[in-house]
Structure 1
Amino acid sequence: MTTVDSAQTPEMQALKVRLKATWESGDYGVFARYLESGALEFLQRLHLEPGERMLDVACGAGQLVIPALRAGNDATGVDIAANLIEQARKRARTDGLPAHFDEGDAEDLPYPDASFDVVSSLVGMMFAPRPERVVAEALRVCRPGGRLMIGSWTPTSFIGGMFKVIGRHVPPSPLMPSPMLWGDEAVLQERFGSGVTALSFERMAYPLAYPFGPAEVVEFFRTYYGPTNRAFAALPEELQATLRHELEAYWTEHNRATDGTTRLASELLILSAVRV
């Protein structure tokens, strides 16, 4: 088991408190409903075998774990946001599924060494502030010969561009490397290094589809997606209007739908590897 990081600086401790509050704001359970088709495609790429024990890191409200449980797999989810873990447990109870969800930090996972056959994360662990600790923990809880599969937005993806728009108004913390580095193959090769073998990458066009127009999509993100919710809250009213205008223009520019809805894709880099 890992121990609490007593050497963590006060600045890092404060950042982690803010990040937890960010993901507990809005309502990711509602937000993720329109991401479900892409999540199911990602889950299919995992090719879970009967009897394999899966851990989904930064699981949200169970977007991967719940369908994995429905398919009869042994799946566990862990997330830093207590309210999302409670949502996931409630969903599992409603479906009569075993509720394997724990509140926990991707940098300090609450599991013994080699607890899982498969460790996954879909646009989740990329938002933890210390990637070297996230990688070490993912490798620690995965058994030797077990598999890892991690999906992350690329720097040039649509979502990567959206974060750039937000970052012009609300600069990210200098204590945290850009989450979009998880979408860079060379960076991931360096981070995982000799800890894995059979390292490979593929790219997926992750579908983003909403039954309303770009202006409503921006409001949907502001209401339900923690990072966007907190970014707007950090700005005075007049700058909120500017950010809203820029985000609406960005979504409108990339929208492929012509029927009043919003439809586009954001590039996802998927890392697959085997734990040595």
Structure 2
Amino acid sequence: METPQPRPDPFDELKDRHRRMWAMGDYKSVAGEVVPELGAVLAAEAGIRPGDYVLDVAAGTGNASIPAALAGASVVALDLTPELLAAGRGIAGDQGVEVDWVQGDAEDLPFPDGTFDAVISCVGVMFAPNHRVAAGELLRVCRPGGTIALLNWTPEGFVGELIAIMRDYQPPQTAVPGPPMWGREDYVAGLFEDGALEDWQSRKQMVTVDRFENPEHFRDFFKANFGPVVGVYRGIGEDLERSAALDRELSSLAERHARNTSGGIEMDWEYLLVRGTAAGQGHP
């Protein structure tokens, strides 16, 4: 009689898909050309200072890691996808800053408790499948009195709508809350244990995106460069009817949010900025 093999962990399977998905396209272009300012916004919100030891979780190509390093901090940039880390290493080198690039899982951070003065994530940790575990890891590796600061897309904003559209074109997935839930103040606050964070602050803001000439330009750019969108189209494969339907939905999404400018269109994409202090005594 054969020994029964353990069933694969659905979260592990999902993370493996995520790793492959984010390696598709060219996320470096998305972060650097579409929303380049977001990382600096988060670094400023976190109050990064010279000498701080900072962890950027789900760092991607370093959109927040590099501004934190430019502010004088010692920065560790962690991400699940090695291709993104390699791209970030090149960007940091071009800007003359040093960052420690580490491949790792946001839900199992390879650092001791209380290691960092600040733990940040810019539209990154929100894509980890097990939200509560990821939040617990952010808190665990932050020293008492240290800062946790996050920037997440909201469910009601442009990217929240984009993610909802893409889910409709994918096979049924493991029942996990969608990433934009991290963009709800009540939800993200509830991910942390009562009393774990002090001085909790949150506010919604907009980033104005003016990279595109028209809605179709947005659609084609994201089809070619944004891993989650690339992955959805690959999953559709040769189903030309569904592919054309998704084309229309993405163009319509951009059209609904667009304002005409002399150079093309601009859109406001909403995000939630949150910051708290890890409970306990720590050095100032």
Whether 2:143 is the aligned partner of 1:143: answer yes
How far did 1:246 drift?
1.3
Cα shift readout 1:130-151 (whole Å, capped 9, x = no counterpart): 0111011101110011010111
How far did 1:53 drift?
1.1
Matches within 5 A, 1:194-205: 194=194, 195-205=196-206
| Secondary structure of 2:17's aligned partner | helix
CA contact (8 A) 1:213 1:260 kept: no
| Secondary structure of 1:175's aligned partner | coil
- Distance in 2 between residues matched to 1:51 and 1:8, nearest whole Å: 46
Whose Rg is larger? Answer: 2
Letter in 1 for 2:246: L
How far did 1:259 drift?
3.4
Letter in 2 for 1:16: K
CA contact (8 A) 2:42 2:149 kept: no
Give the 3 Å change call, closer, same or farther, for CA 62–163 of structure 1 in structure 2: same
- Distance in 2 between residues matched to 1:248 and 1:57, nearest whole Å: 31
How far did 1:167 drift?
2.1
- Distance in 1 between residues matched to 2:269 and 2:54, nearest whole Å: 26
Q: Which residue does 2:3 correspond to in 1?
A: none
| Deviation larger for 113-122 or 211-220 | 211-220
Whether 2:182 is the aligned partner of 1:182: answer yes
Letter in 2 for 1:206: V
Matches within 5 A, 1:200-211: 200-211=201-212
Q: Which residue does 2:35 correspond to in 1?
A: 35
| Deviation larger for 169-178 or 14-23 | 169-178
CA contact (8 A) 2:15 2:129 kept: yes
Q: Which residue does 1:168 correspond to in 2?
A: 168
CA contact (8 A) 1:200 1:272 kept: yes
- Distance in 2 between residues matched to 1:139 and 1:8, nearest whole Å: 30
| Secondary structure of 2:10's aligned partner | helix
Whether 2:153 is the aligned partner of 1:153: answer yes
Which sections of structure 2, spanning at least 5 residues, go unmatched? Answer: 1-5, 280-284
- Distance in 1 between residues matched to 2:253 and 2:212, nearest whole Å: 18
Cα shift readout 1:158-193 (whole Å, capped 9, x = no counterpart): 111122222222256233211111111221222113
| Deviation larger for 244-253 or 88-97 | 88-97
Runs (4 or more) in structure 1 with deviation over 3 Å come to none
CA contact (8 A) 2:27 2:61 kept: yes
Q: Which residue does 1:4 correspond to in 2?
A: none
Matches within 5 A, 1:59-208: 59-170=59-170, 173-194=173-194, 195-208=196-209
| Secondary structure of 1:192's aligned partner | coil
How far did 1:9 drift?
4.7
| Secondary structure of 1:177's aligned partner | coil
Q: Which residue does 2:214 correspond to in 1?
A: 213
| Deviation larger for 218-227 or 167-176 | 167-176
| Deviation larger for 181-190 or 57-66 | 181-190
Q: Which residue does 1:3 correspond to in 2?
A: none
How far did 1:152 drift?
1.0
- Distance in 2 between residues matched to 1:43 and 1:88, nearest whole Å: 16
Give the 3 Å change call, closer, same or farther, for CA 8–64 of structure 1 in structure 2: farther
How far did 1:42 drift?
2.7
Q: Which residue does 2:274 correspond to in 1?
A: 271
> How large is the Cα RMSD of the aligned pairs?
1.8
| Secondary structure of 1:94's aligned partner | helix
| Secondary structure of 1:69's aligned partner | helix
CA contact (8 A) 1:61 1:87 kept: yes
Letter in 2 for 1:254: H
- Distance in 2 between residues matched to 1:43 and 1:164, nearest whole Å: 28
- Distance in 1 between residues matched to 2:125 and 2:245, nearest whole Å: 30
CA contact (8 A) 2:38 2:122 kept: no
How far did 1:8 drift?
9.0
Q: Which residue does 1:249 correspond to in 2?
A: 252
Give the 3 Å change call, closer, same or farther, for CA 172–159 of structure 1 in structure 2: farther
Q: Which residue does 1:261 correspond to in 2?
A: 264
Cα shift readout 1:229-251 (whole Å, capped 9, x = no counterpart): 10111112321111011110110
How far did 1:261 drift?
1.9
CA contact (8 A) 2:65 2:99 kept: no
Give the 3 Å change call, closer, same or farther, for CA 73–98 of structure 1 in structure 2: same
How far did 1:94 drift?
3.2
